[in-house]
Amino acid sequence: MGVIIYLGAWGGKSLDEQYSDGANTYTIVLTLAAVAVAMYLVVRQTKNLHE
């Protein structure tokens, strides 16, 4: 979970450094997307444990 979030934040930061005009838009969007993906994977794994 932490690795997915870290990669999202790192990717967003690198995109902000290359393409942004000072705003942290890519960092925010990719970090939130990574959190959503990580939460989905955790929910799916816990659902599989109960089956």
Residues 6+ apart with CB under 8 A from 51: none
* Domain boundaries, given as residue ranges, for the chain: 2-49
Residue 16 is predicted with a pLDDT of: 94
Q: What is the DSSP string of 15-39?
A: HHHHH-SS--HHHHHHHHHHHHHHH
C-alpha to C-alpha distance for 15 and 41, rounded to whole angstroms: 25
In tens, the pLDDT along 6-27 reads 999 999 999 999 998 888 999 9
In tens, the pLDDT along 24-46 reads 999 999 999 999 999 999 999 99
pTM for this prediction: 0.86
Q: Which tokens go with 38?
A: 């990580």
